[in-house]
Chain A
Amino acid sequence: MQNGELKQCELQIVETPRFFEAMLRGRPYGEASHITSRICGICAVGHATASLRATEKALGVAPSEQTVLLRKLNFHGEILDSHILHTYMLVAPDFLGVDSVIPLAKSAPEVVLRALRMKKLAGDICKVICGRHTHPHRDDGRRLHALPVERRDRRAARTACRDAR
């Protein structure tokens, strides 16, 4: 970008074919969401959840309201996470004419540190629900293996909120 005008745009498709559809054939259904979350580490929760829904549909199983709500919260965590990544770390450097967020850490450290804190909070929301944002566990369609009501999680949630302030 120069003076608000687009000067150069590059399109690179560097991804190699992964063949997930084929890889899933013949695998136990409980693995499906764990395999498909590896489609993308940035939106792993989205892929895992889509797969869970497909699996549940195929089996004719309806998740409980509690599970649905927890999954939605998990989604919100991921959406926050990837929007912060996108806005602060990928887009802002382009608008500000630098090649990455690294020089911004020098010129506007408080903004970058705030972004990192918010990103951590977003990731911690996912962590409380599914262990980690990339790649989620605890929920594999057979059951939610554990609910985020254990002491460890409450502590993690409190620390996350405190750190984010």
Chain B
Amino acid sequence: MMHVALVGNPNTGKTSLFNQLTGTYEYVGNWSGVTVEKKVGVLRSKKAKMIDLPGVYSLHPMSRDERVVTQFLLTEPFDEILNIVDASQLERNLLLTVQLLEFGKPLTVALNMVDVAERRGIFIDQAKLAEALRVPVVPVIARTGKGCDRIEHTLLEKVLEQTEPFTLFYGEAMERAIERFIAAWGTEEQFPVRWLAIQFYEGNSYVREYVAEKLPEATWRSLYEQAEKEVQQAEQTPLDQLIYERRRSFVREVIEQSVQRQKIARVTVTDRIDAVVTNKYVGIPLFLLAMYILFQLTFDWLGAPLSDLLDAFFAGPLTDFVTAMLEAIGASEFIRALVVDGIIAGVGGVLVFVPQIFILFFFISFLEDSGYMARVALVMDRLMEAVGLNGKAFIPLIIGFGCNVPGVMAARTIEQPRERLMTMLLTPLMSCSARLPVYALFVGAFFAAHQAIIVLFLYVLGVSLALILAKLFSLTILKEEASVFVVELPPYRMPQWQALWRSTWDKGKGFVKKAGTFIFGGSVAIWLLSYVGPHGINVNMDDSFLAMIGGVLAPLLAPLGFGTWQAGAALLTGFLAKEVVVSTMNIIYHAPDVESLQGLMASHFTALSAFSFMVFVLLYVPCLATVATIYKETGSRKWTMFSMSYALALAYIVSLAIYQFGSLLGF
């Protein structure tokens, strides 16, 4: 099957187009760096494979996600390039197009965001653009799907007619240098060696590694130095600048021929929103207010009543119905206990929180798709700079409130390796949606009057500790290097309902899926462990295997205020996924619903120890999936171990301090 790679500048609608063409859903958002890894899909007509890639400004990578693209071009087989071009920012988009044309693969330009361009008074004559670039140009609106069928048509037709390769003339001195490189390289490649030469001279770090693998160091160094000297002599400019300028003057000519501009001097909606949102004095308070509203809606105003309804349904009608069914088919007592006390208690106890989690994801999706995310990076940069990070690191942290795994992935767009590592290590301190059920359970039982404020405190605690640790790490193990902070601020866009819903569902379904797999399996296992003991089956739970395992941890946890085997067992299982803590509690305490569980827990926890327990759950080790992601992203066992051990130590110290001081103060 034919393989088509989607390449283009960040935030130009590549993934939107990919979703339209393949009928799938991949992550879309209105900021640069949403897609950070390669994604593969199949055209609706099943005639070709599409490959969605991260956005890049040029093929010379500065960050990890940009590297993915250059690596893809050089090492993976594909047949065609679909280059997405943002019509409202033609110049810088075409600079990339030139590099792709030089790569020699058949190319189609999808001219996206035509609607935005027209609103700004930019009218592109696509026929003239196609003529100037000598490739097909198809206008589309990826958001609505307009023009997508034409894209598919052009893609499939295209390969047959091979056009002559595109070459741009870089001046005598540079051309001689390119020829020398081609001669030194000797062999043919799947792509024009000329392209490799230009990228090499431009200083492309990935290409340099690629070249260094084949040519001896002395050769490539002398090639580079000679070119540098000759170009400096002939043109009085550095190599990379010369290349950039030649491309730019070509692009400007193309634009000259094909674009009509109307002067529209009008204040845009984006300007008006930004006058408030990035206002010097209002910007930061507004962000905090937005986070507060997000939190209140999720936890208090909207989420809690819905969860209560669901809980009542699980505990009442569902349990009764299942029990009746099991009786009717004559199931044994063992099966009844497994289903009702194990599965319904364990899985149901977690599913109850589906409404809250979907509300949270809905608002995160809204932040992502509106264009506010990049503003947050801008507004928070000063604070982040003070602790040795940069504003862009705030994006992974906010995504981490939903789920830590995509949060860790989102750190890929941070250019500076040190800052990226630090962001990955600290993202797990963001209180993700899976921890919400644990808080809900405990605050309901012990802090009924101050539920929201206690949970809000936990969120703030997570963020504050992350900032303090960032400062600490950057003073000790991860010393400062020059940091880069340049952030692109896209125009605001009103998110479409359908896109919002897709995005919410895509994130939330992970939670539901986990309930059906991990938590289901975990619940069965936990229930069995609590049912069986060294002295037989159906034992008193205190004599079960679960009690033995949890009991090992109990003495260690005693100084924190929750030295029971129940707490030990719940925390241990919580490493699988944090919401399993709730499942385990439900099973251990044999509670038919959240309310009676909360009643039972009152005899095992005090308000203070419950608080200490919540803090511990917030901080102690990232869940299994997050640890796996950190390992994949850092590629280092050492840093993965570090992420787990520092979190555990931090959780222990903070909980200990809370419990001991709290006891002294007489709580």
Co-assembled chains A and B? no
